[in-house]
Amino acid sequence: MFFLIGLGLGDAKDITVKGLEIIKKCSRVYLEAYTSVLTVGKEALEEFYGRELIIADRDCVEQDADSILAEAAEKDVALLVVGDPFGATTHTDLILRAQQKGIAYQIVHNASIMNAVGCCGLQLYCYGETVSIPYWTDTWQPDSFYHKIKSNRTRGLHTLCLLDIKVKEPTLESMTKKKKEYMPPRFMSVSEASQQLLKIIQNERLDCVTSSEKEQNFSLAYSENTLCVGLARVGSPSQQIVAATLKEMSETDLGAPLHSLIICGDIQPLEEEYLQQFLSKSCPASIFKNHVGS
Amino acid sequence: MFFLIGLGLGDAKDITVKGLEIIKKCSRVYLEAYTSVLTVGKEALEEFYGRELIIADRDCVEQDADSILAEAAEKDVALLVVGDPFGATTHTDLILRAQQKGIAYQIVHNASIMNAVGCCGLQLYCYGETVSIPYWTDTWQPDSFYHKIKSNRTRGLHTLCLLDIKVKEPTLESMTKKKKEYMPPRFMSVSEASQQLLKIIQNERLDCVTSSEKEQNFSLAYSENTLCVGLARVGSPSQQIVAATLKEMSETDLGAPLHSLIICGDIQPLEEEYLQQFLSKSCPASIFKNHVGS
């Protein structure tokens, strides 16, 4: 049997009792370590579970999935995933492969950023489409998420931005070589994401100035003064939440990963009351008034 | 200290190790039992936790919250909530009250339908705004969720529909009486929700026929043939998932609660491949083609 087990978001004890019981009886347990990370590492998990874990990096899960599954045909094998197992397409794909091989599987759900983000007080049913913000390079600066944020805010909805994670990415130079070299792991911070978002509206404004046609119906998805919420290490004791303007957020350091960013839509009274506790000191009290369009 | 602990979705063992440790050390533990339910009851939870639970119904949480919190000022008190603690506005409100009283609190996250719905293979980042479908009465038939579904589908996004739960609702006759009488608990099924959704488009069509102006730009949010996914008891061993047209779904019995319904938007290739396993036998193979607008 193949088990896909969610670990939740904080530390070793965020696993469910069901998940822990399965880990203890499996003959092999893999730890997926590139779509997300906990605030504790492999060693802390091994100590708490009382057993050895095998790190499953991108190459292992995406190119060597058959060997993980081959074991699962005869024995109990588990793959541990930070958050919930269905947070990444990779895991959906893995279940499909198991089915094709006739291998039984079981999912053990857990919290993920998609629902735990509720901890900032913005109600989950007031979010539009979730977007992913990738690291830009000098030559690759996609901004399709900008239009999704715009579409959400036009409807008064919040946007959860999942921030890029680069773990075990081969260097550009070693891509064609036999022996790959890897870049150090990177986790996009709330301030990096905010800087990219600010860059996009600067470009949009420049673009508008050069086109009189566009100028007539010009409106930005958000501005420097748009209310945002930055979250770091959700679900752990060191969790940090800050509500501030996008400009402020671009200069805010929330420390160690993982970070997530919310671009707010319309704010309901209960949401406003709850957000107050996270408001940065320099944030104007008027931030909640007539929010969308500001 | 006040603890708000998510129980996840399936049975007693879906609690996290962290959550279970807290339950064992608290002097009082309340079980919130009206915004959602597990597939097991209070007794099964009490047996697994090895301690007594106090049922916290709507009256208790919304009108008698102060007494729950009063205890928490001196002792450790926990409120257990099905799914994740931030799934319902009631719980956000409770945290605010605790803060106002200067009572420290801790949240223990868990899976909720908002992320566990990923189990049907539709990717979480392809959903628009979540809607709630309430039970209609003869005189109260709100349909604001219809316009949200339309807005989502116009953008090719899926819509998760949370279905109404009526637990310990006073009867209309006893509302003004001193001694309230309660209706038996009701949980909206996937077929009931689908019937209401079909009723709305019948009304929209009638409405259109009587207005030639509307007829010109007439388009429905969905039709009888729109692909939907019905889910029951997600995260439990008896979990059931069916993909079918809305018309079929209105005649499909998925058994015991809780149910959720998804109105699909555009289907990506990986989503289609995954959904195949849940497709009802009578569903046409063409269901995935040119989906939105059909």
Which CATH number fits the domain that encloses residue B15? 3.40.1010.10
d(CA B46, CA B268): 44
* Chain A residues with CB-CB distance to B87 below 8 A: 115, 118, 124
Q: Do B86 and A119 touch (CB under 8 A)?
A: yes
Alpha-carbon distance A84 to nearest alpha carbon in chain B (angstroms): 7
Final residue in a domain of this structure, among B111, B139, B171: B111
Chosen from B35, B84, B276 to mutate, greatest number of chain A CBs within 10 A: B84
Domain for residue A286, yes or no? no
Q: Do A8 and B109 touch (CB under 8 A)?
A: yes
The whole-number average pLDDT for the span B217-237 is: 93
What CATH number does residue A174 fall under? 3.30.950.10
| B30-87 per-position pLDDT tens digit | 999 877 888 888 999 999 999 999 998 877 777 778 888 988 988 999 999 999 999 8
Task: List the single residue in B20, B119, B128 with the smallest CB-CB distance to A129.
Answer: B128
Radius of gyration of the CA atoms of chain B, in A: 21
Instruction: Say yes or no: B204 and B225 in one domain.
Output: yes
Instruction: Say yes or no: B125 and B61 in one domain.
Output: no
The whole-number average pLDDT for the span B255-279 is: 96
Instruction: Say yes or no: B9 and B123 in one domain.
Output: no
Domain for residue A292, yes or no? no
Cα distances (angstroms) measured from residue B107 to each of A140, B64, B77, B91, B143: 40, 20, 12, 11, 34
Which residue range(s) make up the domain with B190?
114-211+219-278
Instruction: Say yes or no: B264 and B162 in one domain.
Output: yes
Domain for residue A253, yes or no? yes
Final residue in a domain of this structure, among A111, A131, A165: A111
Q: How far is C-alpha B240 from the chain's CA centre?
A: 15
Total count of domains within chain A: 2
CB-based contacts of A128, cutoff 8 Å, min separation 6: A148, A151, A152, A155, A157, A158, A159, A265, B128, B129
Domain for residue B292, yes or no? no
* B5 interfaces chain A, CB cutoff of 8 Å: no
Instruction: Say yes or no: B104 and B186 in one domain.
Output: no
Instruction: Say yes or no: B134 and B85 in one domain.
Output: no
Domain for residue A155, yes or no? yes
Structure tokens at B33: 């039992």
Instruction: Say yes or no: A94 and A148 in one domain.
Output: no
Domain for residue A289, yes or no? no
Q: Do A87 and B16 touch (CB under 8 A)?
A: no
Binding residues of B for S-adenosyl-L-methionine: 9, 84, 87, 112-113, 163, 234, 259
Residue B283's pLDDT is what?
83
Touching A: B residues 193-232, CB under 8 Å? none
Instruction: Say yes or no: A9 and A26 in one domain.
Output: yes
Task: List the single residue in A9, A11, A127 with the smallest CB-CB distance to B129.
Answer: A127
Instruction: Say yes or no: B118 and B258 in one domain.
Output: yes
Instruction: Say yes or no: B134 and B106 in one domain.
Output: no
Instruction: Say yes or no: B89 and B161 in one domain.
Output: no
Residue B190's pLDDT is what?
98
d(CA A41, CA A11): 9
| A225-273 per-position pLDDT tens digit | 999 999 999 999 999 999 999 999 999 999 999 999 999 999 999 999 9
Torsion, Cα of A147, A149, A154, A156 (10° steps): 170
* B110 interfaces chain A, CB cutoff of 8 Å: yes
| A169-221 per-position pLDDT tens digit | 888 788 888 888 888 889 999 999 999 999 999 998 888 776 666 666 678 99
| B85-126 per-position pLDDT tens digit | 998 888 899 999 999 999 999 999 999 999 999 999 999 999
Domain for residue A172, yes or no? yes
B124 upstream amide cis, omega within 30 of 0: no
Alpha-carbon distance B179 to nearest alpha carbon in chain A (angstroms): 32
Domain for residue A285, yes or no? no
Final residue in a domain of this structure, among A87, A111, A135: A111
Sheet holding B77-81, edge to edge: B54-56, B28-32, B77-81, B2-6, B105-108
Instruction: Say yes or no: B206 and B257 in one domain.
Output: yes
Q: Do B14 and A109 touch (CB under 8 A)?
A: yes
Residue A289's pLDDT is what?
73
Planar angle of CA B75, B78, B82, nearest 5 degrees? 175
* B294 interfaces chain A, CB cutoff of 8 Å: no
Q: Do A119 and B107 touch (CB under 8 A)?
A: yes
* B90 interfaces chain A, CB cutoff of 8 Å: no
H runs (alpha helix) in chain B: 17-25, 42-49, 58-63, 65-74, 89-100, 113-116, 144-154, 190-209, 212-216, 246-249, 269-275
* A241 interfaces chain B, CB cutoff of 8 Å: no
Pairing state between β A105-108 and A54-56: unpaired
